[in-house]
A and B are shown apart, each in its own frame.
Chain A
């Protein structure tokens, strides 16, 4: 079908069940809260190679944070709570504890908990102290600019979703990028989701397996424009580039809402940016528990 001149494939995005946790990072200014969040989110694009998929959910106003300072919420997605625990500990210990003026609190409210400050507190070398307020324990670790305050645990959920996606095809590579940027900005308005790839956009979509032993994933040749004619291509003759937006969310609904926001944005701005077609990635529906049909998500 065509909407506003853009072909919408009759297909679906196939996504997987994941575990997820999150943190709220605060600092003296929004800039420094975001700096710590960006640093913590580094090398967090794909769970296969990075151990976790990490990204900024949204910025928080001072009245929304535990200490009344500006903050940023970061979400982490992994295969299991056990797999997330070392990722959370290391990223908070190396990227948030080190960031000037920062503090770090639980960003997901769930009964099941994993360590947040449980590991980093030992950096205090015996000078750390704890304060229990209600049901939460906060560690105070002396550092060179004062104290790093970090909550002992954060909630973790096991019914999160990873791998919602949209494929954007078109005849203008730079125009396609700006259309994808607008779609990522639209997704950023949806709560409880992240787009973990660089700037929210991935240009190296993958297929399962490889001709090389030991490679679990390799380039999605069917969507590579320079291989058209050499492989069983999915691309029409006018397609010069394909970009993908991958979405992880705390719930299936949040992923669906994010895909809706992306489709709406792409349909609105896409025609002027060279977007000719929108598709989605799947594995035939046999691997992932969650299927998001593009037709059902159109505005």
Chain B
């Protein structure tokens, strides 16, 4: 896959906003134009050319050949093409993406995929707090698309999430799905304490939960057709990235009854 490449000249000494570095926005720019894009977050006004060594040619992909936990907003508002990061990223990666693919081959900071509307975000390592969550000033958290985290995720995964799917191959932190309005969060290793706090709708799926809220009610064991549909959809869409399918019945807890209680926590029975 050819495309523009960015290599950090040195570890950044301030946070960098690299939201402009997506295939569509760079497609019509010359190398000089790209190198003059401001990415710094201080009055120094650091530019791309100050911190990155640029290579390759504009195409449908952008590759960061080195990562840093100070690279914020990677893949922000991506609508087509691919952004690949060979390392860690900072906060707000994939924010408000509506299409395309963001591959992070290290760890991610907080607010991964906040406001995501479409496309696919993958994280080889672990993600910080508030994956797919609402950012202050937003109406909702994630509103579509798919996020796959091969490691663990922090607290408040899917805060005010409305649509879409978050898959965590590891474990979710505490209060996953808080204030959730829809969508699906699926963990292969289990939930931390109090998942679904104030959730209205939506689905949480996992093998276990550390501590259950008193406002979730046990509805018994069920063999749910929708889980079969979901498993097949994810297998067809994600291939090897799909979560392990749940075969057989699950125990369904309905909640949060402190709200309208149309959400569900499904624990593999």
Give residues in A with beta carbon < 8 Å to B. 26, 66-69, 103, 127, 129-134, 138, 140, 146-147, 149
Contacts and interface: CB of A to CB of B under 8 A. Distances in A.
A292 B223 CA distance: 49
Given A134-B237, A146-B223, A147-B224, A129 B201 contact: yes
Contact of A149 (B144, B165, B226, B231): B226
B223 A133 contact: no
A127 B201 CA distance: 11
Interface in B203-251: 203, 222-226, 228-233, 237
B47 interface: no
B230 A133 contact: yes
A66 B227 CA distance: 11
Most chain A beta-carbon neighbours within 10 Å: one of B203, B229, B230: B229
Contacts of B233: 66, 133-134
Nearest to A69: B228
Nearest to A136: B233
B241 to A, nearest CB: 15
Given A133-B230, A133-B233, A134-B233, A103 B163 contact: no
Given A146-B223, A149-B225, A129 B232 contact: no
Interface of B: 144, 163, 165, 182, 184, 201, 203, 222-226, 228-233, 237, 262
Name A's interface SS: strand
Given A67-B232, A131-B230, A133-B230, A103 B237 contact: no
Contacts of A68: 228, 231-232
B225 A147 contact: yes
Contacts of B230: 131, 133
A61 to B, nearest CB: 13
Given A131-B230, A133-B230, A67 B203 contact: no
Contacts of A131: 184, 203, 226, 229-230
A72 to B, nearest CB: 16
A146 B225 contact: yes
A209 B63 CA distance: 72
A185 to B, nearest CB: 31
Given A129-B201, A129-B262, A134-B237, A146 B222 contact: yes
Nearest to B223: A146
Most chain B beta-carbon neighbours within 10 Å: one of A67, A68, A147: A67
Most chain B beta-carbon neighbours within 10 Å: one of A68, A131, A147: A131
The 3 lowest CB-CB distance pairs between A and B, nearest first, are A67-B228, A133-B233, A149-B225
16 contacts: A66-B229, A67-B225, A67-B232, A68-B228, A103-B229, A130-B182, A131-B203, A131-B226, A131-B229, A146-B224, A146-B225, A147-B222, A147-B225, A149-B225, A149-B226, A149-B229
Contacts of B228: 67-69
Contacts of B165: 133
Given A67-B232, A132-B144, A133-B233, 13 more contacts: A66-B229, A66-B233, A68-B231, A68-B232, A103-B225, A127-B262, A131-B226, A134-B233, A138-B226, A140-B226, A146-B223, A149-B225, A149-B229
A51 to B, nearest CB: 29
B266 to A, nearest CB: 12
B81 to A, nearest CB: 20
B257 to A, nearest CB: 14
B263 to A, nearest CB: 9
Contacts of A138: 226, 229
B224 to A, nearest CB: 6
B226 A66 contact: no
A146 B226 CA distance: 11
B163 A132 contact: yes
A127 B228 CA distance: 21
Contacts of A133: 165, 229-230, 233
Nearest to A65: B232
Nearest to B144: A132
Nearest to B222: A146
Contacts of B144: 132
A62 to B, nearest CB: 10
Contacts of A130: 182
B96 to A, nearest CB: 19
Contacts of A149: 225-226, 229
A133 B231 CA distance: 11
A127 B233 CA distance: 24
B182 to A, nearest CB: 8
B70 to A, nearest CB: 35
Most chain A beta-carbon neighbours within 10 Å: one of B165, B203, B225, B233: B225
B226 A147 contact: yes
A152 to B, nearest CB: 13
